[in-house]
Amino acid sequence: MLGLMQNQPLLISSLIDFAERHHPEGEIVSRRIEGDIHRCSYKDIARRSRQVANAMEALKLAFGDRVATLAWNGYRHLELYFGVSGTGRVLHTLNPRLHPDQIAWIANHAEDQVLFFDMTFLPIVKAMQGKATSIRHYVALCDADKLPADSGIAGLQSYEALLARQPDTFVWPEFDENTASSMCYTSGTTGDPKAVLFSHRSTILHAFAGGLPDALNMSARDSVLPVVPMFHANAWSLPYSAAMTGAKMVFPGAALDGKSVYELIESEKVTFAAGVPTVWQMMLGHVQAGGLRFSTLKRTVIGGSACPPAMISAFNDDYGVEVLHAWGMTEMSPLGTVNTLKNKHLNMAPADKLKVRVKQGRGVYGVDMKIVDPGGKELPWDGKVFGDLHVKGPWVIRDYFKSDAGSPLVDGWFPTGDVATIDPDGYMQITDRSKDVIKSGGEWISSIDVENIAMSHPAVAMAACIGMAHPKWDERPIIAVVRKPAATVSREDLLSFYTGKLAKWQVPDDVVFLDAIPLGGTGKMQKTKLREMLKDYRLPDL
The residues that are catalytic are 186, 331, 439, 444
- Kindly write out the interface string for residues 316-335 of this chain, putting x where it contacts ligand AMP by CB under 6 A and - elsewhere: ---------xxxxxx---x-
Distance, CA of 328 to CA of 324 (rounded, Å)? 13
Contact pick of 120, 134, 157, 186 for ligand AMP (by CB under 6 A) = 186
Q: Which is nearer to ligand AMP, 142 or 274 (CB)?
A: 274
> Which H/E stretch holds residue 509?
none
- Kindly write out the interface string for residues 231-270 of this chain, putting x where it contacts ligand AMP by CB under 6 A and - elsewhere: --x-------------------------------------
Name residues whose C-beta falls within 8 Å of residue 541's C-beta, 6 or more positions apart in sequence: 509
Is residue 437 a contact residue for ligand AMP (CB under 6 A)?
no
Do 480 and 494 contact (CB within 8 A), yes or no? no
- Kindly write out the interface string for residues 382-421 of this chain, putting x where it contacts ligand AMP by CB under 6 A and - elsewhere: ----------------------------------xxx---
Residue 3 DSSP one-character state: -
Inter-axis angle of helices 13-22 and 238-245, nearest 10: 40
Q: Which is nearer to ligand AMP, 48 or 527 (CB)?
A: 527
- Burial-class residue 374 by CB neighbours within 10 Å (0-12, 13-18, 19+): exposed
Cβ 23 to ligand AMP, closest distance in Å? 29
CB atoms within 10 A of CB 286: 16
Q: Which is nearer to ligand AMP, 137 or 194 (CB)?
A: 194
Stretch 448-487 residues interacting with ligand AMP (CB under 6 A): none
Sheet with 66-70: list strands edge to edge.
157-158, 137-140, 112-117, 66-70, 90-93, 180-186, 194-199
What's the length of the chain?
A: 542
Distance, CA of 205 to CA of 56 (rounded, Å)? 26
Distance, CA of 394 to CA of 242 (rounded, Å)? 20
Q: Which is nearer to ligand AMP, 125 or 466 (CB)?
A: 466
Rg over CA atoms, the chain = 23
Cβ 186 to ligand AMP, closest distance in Å? 5
Cβ 477 to ligand AMP, closest distance in Å? 17
- Kindly write out the interface string for residues 518-537 of this chain, putting x where it contacts ligand AMP by CB under 6 A and - elsewhere: ----x---------------
Binding residue count for ligand AMP, defined by CB under 6 A: 22
- State phi, psi for 490 to the nearest 5 degrees: -90, 170
Q: Which is nearer to ligand AMP, 24 or 417 (CB)?
A: 417
Cβ 416 to ligand AMP, closest distance in Å? 5
Cβ 367 to ligand AMP, closest distance in Å? 13
Sites of contact with ligand AMP (CB under 6 A): 186-187, 233, 303-307, 325-330, 334, 360, 416-418, 430, 433, 522
